[in-house]
A and B are shown apart, each in its own frame.
Chain A
């Protein structure tokens, strides 16, 4: 399995609080991604990074920010958590940016009350 860890794995937080999720890789891959998955649905891209300090928005980026200060870490921040952001968040990595080379982390289950 690709070396991807996500922390925390589970979190419950209150509406209005900031939350930061961490994705850590040991593969030295250039590309990193954050997706969210809501019950019964596929994944939707939030943000992605194509290098240190290089990031871009995905299809559902409102209310989220990201940072990548070093190759191995990609942070996702919910600036002011809302109940609509209750979801499972997956991080993925890719060496070349090709779809078949995406490796996914174990996910973080976030509940906003």
Chain B
């Protein structure tokens, strides 16, 4: 699976959009980009995933660049409850989920 690189930490004002970047410059054609988050001491929670096209669900939007070397997770109206560690993972669609590599992620702090 491709290695992903994320900033260590980011701040965001409550009510504003939080844009979390992820670099995956060695991603291959079969690898999806997945995002999870982990709220303090809880188990990680799936947010969204995508292959080529931009994706949106009730939690977030995922923007993937045309060359697929980077992506951005967007939380459109961040709340204090969105404070968490966000993990970006690149994984081959044919590989068992247990092979996922969770890096150190980005700690997002939403401030009042």
CB of B79, distance to nearest CB on chain A (Å)? 20
Partner of B49, one of A45, A50, A99: A99
Interface size on B, residues (CB 8 A): 24
Q: Contacts A42-B87, A42-B102, A43-B102 known; A97 to B44 CB distance under 8 Å?
A: no
Interface size class on chain A is 20 to 34
CB of A95, distance to nearest CB on chain B (Å)? 10
Flag whether B98 is at the interface (Cβ < 8 A): yes
Q: Contacts A33-B98, A97-B97, A99-B49 known; A104 to B104 CB distance under 8 Å?
A: no
Q: Contacts A42-B103, A44-B102, A48-B98 known; A100 to B43 CB distance under 8 Å?
A: no
Binding site for B on A (CB under 8 A): 31, 33, 35, 40-45, 48, 50, 56, 58-59, 88, 90, 92, 94, 97-107
Binding site for A on B (CB under 8 A): 32, 34, 41-46, 48-49, 87, 89, 91, 93, 96-105
